[in-house]
Amino acid sequence: MEQNTNQPQAEIESFTLDHDAVKAPYVRLIDTTKGPKGDIISNFDVRLTQPNEEFIDTASLHTLEHLLAKYLRPQIEGYIDCSPYGCRTGFHLLVWNELSSQDAAKALKQALEQTLKTSWDEVPGTKRKECGNYKDHSLEGAKRWAAKILEQGISADAFHHIPV
Ligand SMILES: [Zn+2]
């Protein structure tokens, strides 16, 4: 892979994070990166389950992905994307400009509360033409996880669990 000489100098700590030290569920600001034209992107670690102890089944995670796209976008100005981790313990959230972990955690909390009230026909992009694995969804599972995460509370501090 060619080296990107425009790569901004940001502290990249996602892979140096001690996954045993964190206390999920939490939202953590990984870094803010300034692009060559001065645009800023904030990168968040949205950890829904405790690493190496619990992970979300793919159908539930997939439906949560579709619902977070629907419910987080209108709440977060400059929302870019929220995509699941391969380890299935959470999501990466990317946002234009700066946003506090506190505000991101509050937006997530509201999105999960909305998830609990969602009916199947309100889940976006579940038709064959709209999704890469349209049969692999579980709204029931997404709601179960949302309820569990809300009950545990979402912290804006990855190492001290203080629910927002
Ligand atoms: Zn999909």
**Mean pLDDT, each 10-residue run in order, the chain (164 residues):** 54 76 96 94 97 98 98 96 97 97 98 98 96 97 98 97 94
Q: Residue 15's pLDDT is what?
A: 73
Q: Residue 79: which CATH number?
A: 3.30.1360.80
Q: In the chain, how many domains are there?
A: 1
- Residue 67 alpha carbon to ligand 1 centre in Å: 10
Q: Is residue 1 part of a domain?
A: no
Sheet holding 79-84, edge to edge: 26-34, 40-47, 90-96, 79-84
What is the structure's pLDDT at 150? 98
- pLDDT score of 13: 65
Domain for residue 37, yes or no?
A: yes
Residue 157 lies in a domain: no
Q: Which domain holds residue 108?
A: 22-152
Yes or no: say if 26 and 154 are a contact pair by the CB < 8 Å rule: yes
Instruction: Calculate how far, in angstroms, residue 2's C-alpha sits from the geometric centre of ligand 1.
Output: 31
Here the tokens at position 2 are 């060619």
Q: Is residue 140 one of the residues assigned to a domain?
A: yes
In a domain, 85, yes or no: yes
What the block records as the tokens of 112 is 């999960």
State the distance from the centre of ligand 1 to the C-alpha of 22, rounded, in angstroms. 29
**CA 112 to centroid of ligand 1, rounded, Å:** 18
| pLDDT given at position 16 | 81
What the block records as the tokens of 137 is 């969804």
Q: What is the pLDDT of residues 74-89, one digit of tens each?
A: 999 999 999 999 999 9
Residue 58 placed within a domain: yes
pTM: 0.89
pLDDT one-digit tens code per residue, 21-52: 999 999 999 999 999 999 999 999 999 999 99
Kindly state whether residue 145 falls inside one of the protein's structural domains: yes
Domain presence at residue 67: yes
What span, in angstroms and rounded, lies between the C-alpha atoms of 93 and 29? 9
Distance 65 CA to ligand 1 centre (A): 8
